[in-house]
């Protein structure tokens, strides 16, 4: 999928992430210094799903689109043997630096998601972990599901918590408090092209690479893609909260770091947690 100037969607998106990764590592939102100060600290994202994750001790996990590694390292702190995958060298540099500061042996590998089964030496992981702003960067959810399946041993588990596709379809720039569906809910071949100079955490940094290419994927499309890739769905929960301020000005943050609509949050599925197991 090429755009003007012969650039692939990945070139635009990687340039944007490479610039944002150091700003994210420096932002209070990612709480890097809390990881360093407290050896039992884990990210809010992983903490939210603790009751669903179960005992990870000794399990071999791969975190797709691991960004600066805060969730990957949190899973390592829970006893998993983790590998993180991301296509942004700047994000992986931050992740490796944090792993060194925490004294955790985690492999961070640079690869496009779809190439992960060939980039990694192992393809028999006990679990794949991903989400929180991951699927929207991928044009083809069926290809993603096949990638997940290829990384798992038979009986291995996918664990994803992700922004809900209904949330992704909403206009997030409105000032009038209305929830208006303006973007695709279903996956389309053509990307949504944005030019957004900001990011989702607090920072003073001015960014120059702001054009991104993104896609939505409906919940049924995600489930069907996983079933067709040989995965059995074992859990699917929709939540009335999400771990970032997805609709600025319309949400309130709770003590667990979750954001929900200030007005009648029960109107909107904000995020979901899906678990699936690779069939034998």
Ligand X SMILES: C[S@@+](CC[C@H](N)C(=O)[O-])C[C@H]1O[C@@H](n2cnc3c(N)ncnc32)[C@H](O)[C@@H]1O
Per CB under 6 A, residues contacting ligand X are: 10, 13, 17, 65, 67, 70-71, 86-88, 91, 112-113, 132-134, 137
Query: Is 27 or 59 the residue whose CB approaches ligand X more closely?
Result: 27
Query: Is 180 or 193 the residue whose CB approaches ligand X more closely?
Result: 193
Query: Is 133 or 248 the residue whose CB approaches ligand X more closely?
Result: 133
Query: Is 86 or 258 the residue whose CB approaches ligand X more closely?
Result: 86
CB of 79 to ligand X, least distance (A): 20
Query: Is 75 or 132 the residue whose CB approaches ligand X more closely?
Result: 132
Tokens of 260: 């929900």
CB of 65 to ligand X, least distance (A): 3
CA distance 72 to 131: 12
Q: Which residue is nearest to ligand X (CB)?
A: 133
156, 159, 277, 274: which is closest to 222 by C-alpha?
Answer: 274
3-state SS class at 81: strand
3-state SS class at 115: helix
b or e along 150-181 (b: 16 or more beta carbons within 10 Å of the residue's beta carbon)?
bbbeeebbbbbbbbbbbbbbbebeeeeeebee
189, 190, 183: which is closest to 163 by C-alpha?
Answer: 183
Radius of gyration of the chain (CA): 18
Query: Is 83 or 176 the residue whose CB approaches ligand X more closely?
Result: 83
CB of 162 to ligand X, least distance (A): 9
CB of 106 to ligand X, least distance (A): 13
| CB of 50 closer than 8 Å to CB of 75 | no
CA distance 181 to 185: 8
CB of 216 to ligand X, least distance (A): 15
CB of 101 to ligand X, least distance (A): 16
């Amino acid at each position: 999928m090429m755009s003007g100037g012969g650039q692939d969607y990945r070139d635009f998106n990687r340039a944007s992430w490479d610039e944002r990764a150091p700003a994210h590592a420096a932002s209070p939102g990612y709480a890097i210094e809390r990881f360093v100060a407290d050896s039992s600290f884990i990210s809010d994202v992983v903490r939210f799903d603790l009751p669903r994750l179960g005992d990870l001790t000794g399990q071999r996990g791969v975190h797709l689109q691991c960004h600066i590694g805060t969730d990957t390292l949190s899973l390592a702190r829970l006893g998993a043997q983790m590998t993180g995958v991301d296509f942004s060298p700047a994000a992986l540099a931050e992740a490796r630096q944090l792993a060194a500061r925490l004294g955790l042996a985690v492999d961070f590998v640079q690869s496009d998601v779809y190439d992960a089964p060939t980039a990694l030496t192992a393809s028999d992981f006990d679990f794949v972990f991903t989400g929180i702003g991951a699927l929207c960067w991928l044009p083809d959810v069926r290809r993603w599901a096949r990638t997940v399946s290829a990384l798992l041993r038979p009986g291995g588990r996918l664990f994803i918590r992700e922004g809900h596709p209904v949330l992704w379809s909403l206009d997030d720039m409105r000032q009038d408090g209305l929830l208006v569906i303006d973007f695709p809910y279903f996956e389309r071949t053509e990307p949504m092209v944005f030019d957004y100079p900001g990011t989702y955490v607090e920072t003073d940094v001015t960014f120059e690479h702001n054009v991104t290419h993104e896609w939505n994927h409906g919940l049924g499309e995600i489930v069907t893609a996983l079933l067709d890739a040989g995965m059995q769905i074992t859990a699917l929960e929709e939540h009335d909260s999400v771990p970032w301020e997805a609709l600025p000005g319309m949400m309130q943050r709770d003590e667990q770091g979750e954001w929900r609509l200030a007005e009648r949050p029960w109107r909107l599925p904000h995020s979901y947690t899906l678990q699936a197991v690779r069939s034998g």
